Amino acid sequence: MLVIFNPTAGAGRRRRLSRAVDWLCREGLPPDVAETQAPGDAWLIARDAALRGESLIVAAGGDGTIAEVAAGIAGSAAALGILPLGTANVLALELGVPLAPEAAAAVLATGTRRLIRPGLLTDAAGGQRLFVQMVGAGFDAAVVQGLDLALKRRLGRAAYVLQALRQAARHPFAPIEAVLDGTPYRATSVIVTKGRLYAGRHLLAPAARPAAPGFQVALLAGSGAPSLLAAGLALPLGLLPRLPGLRLLPARCITLSGPGIALQADGDPAGSLPARIEDAPACLPVLLP
């Protein structure tokens, strides 16, 4: 078992990692731990480990780290393990992986291999990026791209709230042209998701299933302060699917376009539009409860 950990996540997350590793050692399953030094390292370490024949490669971090490790093992025989150490931990919550370090470690020791279907994001230059939960275009992506990472380490989720307030004053809410399986739509923000949850435990797309082909696409037509206020109130109440101006549609192939509009993938900056989104070529085995 190889655990891939990003040490820039902070001392608190390192302590949680140590608790999980200690549990595995007590159970006679001492893992190797590899620490990343720069963006892209998790992908490289995971790819090399999969090529060496490592059967279980564990992402210790948030959704961005998990996606990077998943991309590294894609197409191999290795399974993905998850130690959720991130801010939102959306994929872990989606898949039922416990957040407590010892409980998550127990899944690595006794869990079952199951398949999920990652998505594939292709940019205008043909570059491709695998994602495990969602891609966002518009306001939420602008918040992600403008986020101060040092502030995120200090404040956690509160940093996103502060950045959203800052972004709200200057975001242009420019139109996004979305084509879903050949049918055109227009929106000001778009979320393309493999799962039900958004920004933690908050329900967005009740019909989404991580193991199923295709996506649920949330198209938000609102703009400005009233729309953001409504979304902010709906989020903790589980009412996002009923938000005025929001449409939820299934699709297998999505193209998004709009000059200079920001993109995020699994909570990390992912450039700007245009982009094409479809299922990755192969399913991904994940160790789950």
Is residue 223 situated within a structural domain? yes
Using the 8-state DSSP alphabet, how is residue 31 labeled? P
- The pLDDT score that the predictor gives to residue 32 is 97
What would the mean pLDDT of 173-184 be, rounded to a whole number? 96
Residue 9 structural domain = 2-110
What would the mean pLDDT of 247-264 be, rounded to a whole number? 96
- The pLDDT score that the predictor gives to residue 88 is 87
Is residue 99 situated within a structural domain? yes
Q: Given a cut of 90, is residue 233 above it in pLDDT?
A: no
| Total count of domains within the chain | 2
- The pLDDT score that the predictor gives to residue 182 is 98
Could you say which of 110, 142, 177 is where a domain stops? Answer: 110
pTM for the full model? 0.92
Q: Given a cut of 60, is residue 224 above it in pLDDT?
A: no
What are the helix (H) ranges across the chain?
11-26, 41-51, 63-73, 90-95, 101-110, 139-146, 149-155, 157-168, 224-237
pLDDT digits (tens, 9 = 90+) for 14-38: 999 999 999 999 999 999 999 999 8
Q: Which CATH number goes with the domain that contains 184?
A: 2.60.200.40
What would the mean pLDDT of 211-229 be, rounded to a whole number? 80
One domain, residues 47 and 167:
no
Sort residue 82 into left (φ over 0), alpha (ψ -120 to 50) or beta. beta
CB atoms within 10 A of CB 49: 23
